Structure formats: structure tokens, C-alpha cells
Structure 1
């Protein structure tokens, strides 16, 4: 009996070793993301008693002639604990003032060094471009047991609050052991393949992950723009939008993500 138990234990240990040897992790490659914005919800939220006379009819017309969701593409290249998030310019630019919203547009090209927890971002703010250099955002993630599959990877859900009031839901995979993600979302024990801002009606989800070598020389920080950091940029934005009311808060939030 002792011999049988010893043999069974040996097989279990051998099976575990073989599984560990066959476990595959993606350490470099390119992720394609799709940003989706619920335009109907976004525009409706901006309607109030002061603007409903002209904005409500415009909103009704928009619903009849435009799709509910605006889709935008981006890529994230990663290797050696470095990532670079790059928006892809749409082929057809929609010319409609209702959709010309900072929350809709993709304002940032972001290089992140996860080894040093620093980033450099080229940030477009209206007609001006800033080059923001600073430490990565510290996000107090709460990891849950919920999972879902994204782009072929099993991902676990985590929740957080950023910018004091923005609720974030993220899905990350440990099969890509780099704690990066789209835009400025980092800090989880694996790559973030999905992000949702439920109250802002915006999501970023990976549609494809291509495992491939990425030359570190290809991960080049952006260099264009007026040099600043997060604190100074916030001071500049606060000064420019202090009389904008709720519109100012919306734009401030958009430029701070």
C-alpha cells in the first residue's frame, strides 16, 4: 500500500512539473485595442435646462443619423517591462460638434517604463500639445474572483477609483506578466486587456494579441510638446477652464485619464 501511495504521489508531482514546463507566458508583442464610446449616453448626459432648447433637437437628430457607438483603434507594443500606447487615426474623421468631445477623442501617445514606474506622454489639449513626464498613477486595485475571456486570454476582474470619482473596471491576464495596459492604466499583476469606465460610458478592449519580438529600439518615448508634469498640467488646465462649469469638469477629466 505504501508503494502504491508513493507511486501516485510521484505521478502527481511529475504531472505538476510537466504542466509548469508547458505553461506559456507572452513577454513581448503587440496588442490591438478598440475604444468604444456610447455617444447616445454621452450626449444625453450633457443636456440640461440651460441648453435643452437647442441641444435636445440636435441630440434627436444625431440618434437618427449616427451610430450609437463610436469605435476607435489603438495599439500597445510591449517588451522588457516597457510599453508604448499609440492611437490610430481614423480613416474617416466625423465632422460633428456633438462628437467633438475630449472624452471621445484619443489624446495620448504614452510610453511607460514599468521598471522605474515612470511615463512620458504626448498629450493633445485642444490646439496645444504637452509632453508630460512623471511617475505612473498609483491605483488601489481591488482584485475579484470574476473572470472573462478577452482576445483568447482568461482575464480576472479588478475594480478601482481614479481621479477621486471615476469608477474603473479592468480585466488583466497573468499570461502576459507585464503590469501595463491601455492609456495610463497599470499596476495589476498582468497585462490589462480590458478597461471600462461605466459611468463615462467608455471601454477599451483588446481585439487581438500578436506575440512577437519587439525591439527595445522600437519603443521610443514621444518627444513632441511643451514639457510639463502632472501637477503643472493640472494647474494649467484648472486655470484655463475655471469658468467652464460642468463642461470644464468633463474636459478636465478627459485630459487627466
Structure 2
């Protein structure tokens, strides 16, 4: 019996230490490329923007949209990251809803090129507003995050959920992984202790989720801030929008939110 116990102990010990060693040697990614997909629930967004008593014109336009367009608009993007710097770049794509009556809703577009220096907490954003291009240089966007115990697997990475607020009122659900110890993410989302692989704006009917993660070296040339556009800070851009949209009636609020995101 004594020899049997010794044998069991000998067999178990390597397993215990092996698991401990594997945990200690778990691979962390500090640079690479992440592909994201943005999905917009167009039906829900349009219906909400139409209000409770839409005109017959808008109802007919919406019915025509539903007959010819898919419910979800899908947009691709790429995030290059290395040495606490990230560059988010949209991938050109022609979606079915582009060019339609509801296709130019600002929140359904993806025209931002965003460079973040996460160590310095600075951001450079090239943002298109119809025919104009702006270069916004400021601090990285502020979020109020609350990390929860909920977890979710995204592309094989264990991600923890965090709930947040942006722009004072927009509710955000984020899923980040500490296996990529870079506090960045798609678009301007950042500020968590790891890379954000999934984002949902439940009340805006928009999500971003990683579709592919490549653990590859990224050269400094691949992460350079954009340089084209009229330069201003975020407050200057907000003032410009307020002036440009002042005669847009009820639509101004939705347009402002979409362009500021």
C-alpha cells in the first residue's frame, strides 16, 4: 500500500508542476494584427430614428429599404498594434445599403483612421464628414469602465466583460483579454487592462468583434498617425459640428452623435 501511494505521488507531481509551469509560460502577444467586423442593425436603427409617429413618406421608404437591403450592415477594419501604439484602419467595402435613402446615417459609416499612443494617452484621428476631412489631435477618449466577473471566449481568447460609458451617455459593453496586454481596441475604444476583442453599443444597435488575430511582427512603418485633414482638437471639432448641423432639425442630434463616435 505504501509503495502504491508513493507511485501515485510520483505520477501526480509532474502534472501539478507541469500545469503550473504552463501557466507561467502562457504566451502573451505584444504586437500583431487584428481584423474586426462592425455590424449595424439597420432595421432597428432606422425604426428608432423615425420616431413614434413617422410620416407616410418615411414609412414607405423604410418598407422599400427592408425589401431590398439586409438587416445588418457589415464593415471590415484592421488594427495594427506594437509597443503600446495602435492604428485602426477601415477596409474599403461596398455594402448593399450604401447609396440607399438610409445609407448615409453617420453612425452606420466607418470613415475614421485612428492612431493611439497608449503610453502617452494621445490620439490622432482622421475623420471624414461627407466631403471634408479633419485631423483631430487630442487625448485618447475617456471611458468610465466597471470590470465584471463575466467571461466570454473570442477566437480562443478568454475575455472579461467590462461595462462603460462614453460621451457621457452612451452605454458600452466590452470584452477584453489580458493575453494581449495592450489597452487598445477597435475605433477609439481603449483603457482596459488588455486588448478589446468585442464591443457592443446595445442602445445604438452596433457591435465590433474580432474575426481574426495574427501574432506577427509589426514594423513601425505600419503604425504611423494619419496626416491629412484640417487640424483641430476634439472641442474644436464639436463646435464645428454644432454650427454645421444647427439647421438640421431633429436629425441634428443623431448626426452629431454619429460623427463624434
Question: Which residue of 1 is the match for residue 147 of structure 2?
Answer: 143
The equivalent position to 2:75 in structure 1, one of 62, 72, 77, is: 72
Deviation at 1:11, TM superposition (A): 6.6
Distance in structure 2 (CA, Å) of the matches to 1:69 and 1:75: 20
Report the number of matched residues. 254
Question: Which residue of 2 is the match for residue 63 of structure 1?
Answer: 66
Question: Which residue of 2 is the match for residue 27 of structure 1?
Answer: 30
Instruction: Answer yes or no: is 1:90 the counterpart of 2:93.
Output: yes
Distance in structure 1 (CA, Å) of the matches to 2:194 and 2:148: 14
Question: Which residue of 2 is the match for residue 251 of structure 1?
Answer: 255
Question: Which residue of 2 is the match for residue 120 of structure 1?
Answer: 124
Map Cα deviations across residues 139-196 of structure 1 (whole Å, 9 max, x no partner): 1100011111112211111011111211100100011000000111000000000111
Q: Report if aligned partners of 2:183, 2:195 keep a CA contact under 8 Å in 1.
A: yes
Question: Which residue of 2 is the match for residue 133 of structure 1?
Answer: 137
Instruction: Answer yes or no: is 1:209 the counterpart of 2:213.
Output: yes
User: What TM-score, normalized by structure 2, do the two folds share?
Assistant: 0.91
Distance in structure 1 (CA, Å) of the matches to 2:234 and 2:122: 12
Q: Structure 1 regions of 5+ residues with no counterpart?
A: none
Question: Which residue of 2 is the match for residue 109 of structure 1?
Answer: 113
Q: Report if aligned partners of 2:40, 2:74 keep a CA contact under 8 Å in 1.
A: yes
Greater Cα shift, 216-225 or 45-54: 45-54
Question: Which residue of 2 is the match for residue 194 of structure 1?
Answer: 198
Q: Report if aligned partners of 1:39, 1:99 keep a CA contact under 8 Å in 2.
A: no
Distance in structure 2 (CA, Å) of the matches to 1:115 and 1:203: 26
Deviation at 1:19, TM superposition (A): 2.4
The equivalent position to 1:230 in structure 2, one of 224, 231, 234, is: 234
Q: Report if aligned partners of 2:163, 2:173 keep a CA contact under 8 Å in 1.
A: yes
- SS of the aligned residue for 1:111 comes to strand
Q: How does 1:152-171 map to 2 (within 5 A)?
A: 152-171=156-175
Instruction: Answer yes or no: is 1:179 the counterpart of 2:183.
Output: yes
The 1:167–1:49 alpha-carbon spacing in structure 2 relative to 1, beyond 3 Å, is closer
Distance in structure 1 (CA, Å) of the matches to 2:69 and 2:75: 15
Map Cα deviations across residues 173-221 of structure 1 (whole Å, 9 max, x no partner): 0110000001110000000001111011000000000110001122111
Map Cα deviations across residues 18-53 of structure 1 (whole Å, 9 max, x no partner): 124421111111100000000101111122467522
Distance in structure 2 (CA, Å) of the matches to 1:96 and 1:12: 61
Greater Cα shift, 149-158 or 240-249: 240-249
Q: Structure 2 regions of 5+ residues with no counterpart?
A: 1-5
Map Cα deviations across residues 235-256 of structure 1 (whole Å, 9 max, x no partner): 1111111232331111111111
